[in-house]
Amino acid sequence: MAKLGTVISLMDSPNTSKFAFVVNDDAVKLVRKGQFVEMQHETGTLVAAVNDIFRSNRYFERAESVAEYERAGMMSSHFPVNEWSYTIAECRIIGIFDGNALHRCSFPPAPGSEVVTVNEQMLEKYLGFRQNGLNIGKLLNHDVDVRLGLSKLFQKHVAILAMSGAGKSYLVSVLLEELLERKPEDGRIGVVVLDMHGEYANMRSACFPDRITVYDASKIRISTKNAQPEMFPFFHQLSGAQKRMLNAAFYEHKRKAALEHKFFTIKDLMIDIAGIDDKKAISTRDALLDHLDSLHKMKLFGKVDDPSVTALVKPGSISIISFKEIDSEKKKQLIVAYFARRLFNAIKKGKIPPFVLVVEEAHNFAAEGVKREEMLSKREIERIAREGRKFGASLCLITQRPVRLSTTALSQCNTHIILRVTNPYDIKHIGESSEGIDSYMLNSITTLKTGEALVVGEAVVQPVFVKVRKRKYEFNTGGVDLESLAREYEKKQAQKKEDVEAFL
């Protein structure tokens, strides 16, 4: 335990939330922004974090005298300038540890108190890290593993917010490693990753191949029987008469299918509707058939769900659905909406174990300012956000545009992990939607390095800055840089030219 400095008396501090201390000359290298410190207090050990550090020197306070001395060239030779310099660290009080728990500070520390380095073994306790928690990395400035409790992190949902390239997907893969390594006695959950760019597919060959399954979303089939006409992408363009005709045919089929334990397809629906020969309804019928034909060609609706939700969610296993081969946003939203609904209904009925649904690019599936009818996935994601925790259905929402993410969904995420964000609108939004963030932390978000994160909310007693750990199982995410894309293009062009010349 090294001595760091002495608490000073200022106009507005020490009070019950902050204090400042003068840093001892020999401790200047030991005090860094963001680190934890402690001191003895009447009621226990007071724990605080360094918000900011200032340096001051009375010699340099008056511009005209500094200029005068500099001109005379006497400054450093005549005065012990360096000896007049001092460093002040401003701290926010986190709480007082009475031997059992951290309590709110209700009486300020005394000026003159000695500030010392924090006891790192105790720090884990102060911050509520769990031995069997998910280890996402080290506390910034300290040699302490950040272990977040599984329930604390996921039960009330988590949002990972950061600009592009700040390390969101990397952090997700670290979380996935931790989930895969959990022992059954610690509680294992199932994971479904909605992987928009096919980044996680290679994780399978790098670790636990028997517990990771990769699905190509373009090959997924949705059971027509379990669908609803509202899910069909064209539904909202239909006239009232068309909707009635579609609903009638659909629900008649569904009723029969349930009765006879059978399935039906879009083609079956089309055959039925084509059989309508009421003269007044012909134009309605034909328009509807056109729509259904395009839906049939989409090859998304089949007889049964493939994969089934029970195959998707297994304890300690990960299902990665790669949307790389799908271009249509509507189709992606449809698949997300369908599986989110099926998963939620299945867990409500106790058919599948607790799970977390990881949604990359969440702002495209639960967008703020878009009607729920126009984005079915939004309705389903918001439903899990609101009701999921009672049943063990959790969300991990990832976005590079927090402003565009549904506020209903974001506000239900009780833990926010924020990596670097520089967009002022996003920063403001994060400040408003993340509880316990102060202006100092908000400013720090803009200067985080790749892989550095601020964790706030349910999973931590106190907001903490974390250096996300390296992956244990490195794998290729399929990301390509601009240079290799450009080289690849030129190589292909040259090859083409050669081929043409050879042909001539």
Nearer Cβ to ligand ATP, position 225 or 469?
Answer: 469
Nearer Cβ to Mg ion, position 168 or 404?
Answer: 168
Binding window for ligand ATP (CB under 6 A); candidates: 144-152, 165-173, 368-376, 388-396? 165-173
When CB distances are held under 5 to 8 angstroms depending on the partner's kind, the choice from Mg ion, ligand ATP, none that residue 164 binds is: ligand ATP
| 162 part of the interface to ligand ATP, by CB under 6 A | yes
- 3-state SS class at 446: coil
Minimum distance, C-beta of residue 488 to ligand ATP, in the bound complex (Å): 19
H-run or E-run covering 331? helix 329-348
| 169 part of the interface to ligand ATP, by CB under 6 A | yes
| 198 part of the interface to ligand ATP, by CB under 6 A | no
Whether residue 202 contacts residue 476, with contact meaning beta carbons closer than 8 Å, is answered with yes
| 465 part of the interface to ligand ATP, by CB under 6 A | no
In the block, tokens 């395009």 appear at 294
Binding ligand ATP (rule: CB under 6 A), the pick from 149, 167, 307, 354 is: 167
Angstrom CA distances, 266 to 223, 228, 307, stand at 10, 12, 19
| 466 part of the interface to ligand ATP, by CB under 6 A | no
Minimum distance, C-beta of residue 471 to ligand ATP, in the bound complex (Å): 7
H-run or E-run covering 409? helix 407-412
> Footprint of Mg ion on this chain (CB under 5 A)?
168-169
Indicate the residue type of 141: N
Binding window for ligand ATP (CB under 6 A); candidates: 166-174, 326-334, 346-354, 369-377? 166-174
In the beta sheet, which residues pair with residue 442? none
Site for ligand ATP in 372-401 (CB under 6 A): 400
Binding window for ligand ATP (CB under 6 A); candidates: 71-79, 100-108, 168-176, 309-317? 168-176
Minimum distance, C-beta of residue 181 to Mg ion, in the bound complex (Å): 22
φ and ψ at residue 435, rounded to 5 degrees: -75, 140
Residue 181: how many CB atoms within 10 A of its CB? 15
Order of strands, edge to edge, in the sheet holding 318-322? Answer: 145-148, 134-139, 464-468, 452-457, 415-418, 158-161, 393-399, 355-359, 190-195, 318-322, 212-216
Binding window for ligand ATP (CB under 6 A); candidates: 111-119, 163-171, 336-344, 488-496? 163-171
Whether residue 384 contacts residue 340, with contact meaning beta carbons closer than 8 Å, is answered with yes
Binding ligand ATP (rule: CB under 6 A), the pick from 108, 451, 457, 463 is: 451
Binding ligand ATP (rule: CB under 6 A), the pick from 450, 476, 493, 495 is: 450
Nearer Cβ to ligand ATP, position 136 or 212?
Answer: 136
Minimum distance, C-beta of residue 401 to ligand ATP, in the bound complex (Å): 9
When CB distances are held under 5 to 8 angstroms depending on the partner's kind, the choice from ligand ATP, Mg ion, none that residue 166 binds is: ligand ATP
At 365, list the tokens.
């599936």
| 170 part of the interface to ligand ATP, by CB under 6 A | yes
Nearer Cβ to ligand ATP, position 112 or 165?
Answer: 165
Nearer Cβ to ligand ATP, position 178 or 305?
Answer: 178
Nearer Cβ to ligand ATP, position 149 or 167?
Answer: 167
H-run or E-run covering 464? strand 464-468
Whether residue 47 contacts residue 36, with contact meaning beta carbons closer than 8 Å, is answered with yes
| 468 part of the interface to ligand ATP, by CB under 6 A | yes
| 168 part of the interface to ligand ATP, by CB under 6 A | yes
When CB distances are held under 5 to 8 angstroms depending on the partner's kind, the choice from ligand ATP, Mg ion, none that residue 167 binds is: ligand ATP
Nearer Cβ to Mg ion, position 168 or 429?
Answer: 168
Beta-carbon contacts of residue 56 (< 8 Å; ≥ 6 apart)? 85, 86, 87, 88
Binding ligand ATP (rule: CB under 6 A), the pick from 470, 487, 491, 496 is: 470
Query: Could you say which DSSP state residue 324 is in?
Result: T
DSSP letter string over 1-34?
--EEEEEE--SS-S-SSEEEEEEPGGGGGG--TT
Angstrom CA distances, 261 to 250, 253, 268, stand at 16, 11, 16
Binding ligand ATP (rule: CB under 6 A), the pick from 98, 101, 165, 325 is: 165
Nearest residue (beta carbon) to Mg ion: 169
Classify each residue of 301-336 as buried b or exposed e, where b means 16 or more C-beta atoms within 10 Å of its C-beta: bbeebebebeebbbbbbbbbbbbeebeeeebbbbbb
When CB distances are held under 5 to 8 angstroms depending on the partner's kind, the choice from Mg ion, ligand ATP, none that residue 400 binds is: ligand ATP
- 3-state SS class at 359: strand
Q: Which residues bind ligand ATP (CB under 6 A)?
A: 162, 164-170, 400, 450-451, 468, 470
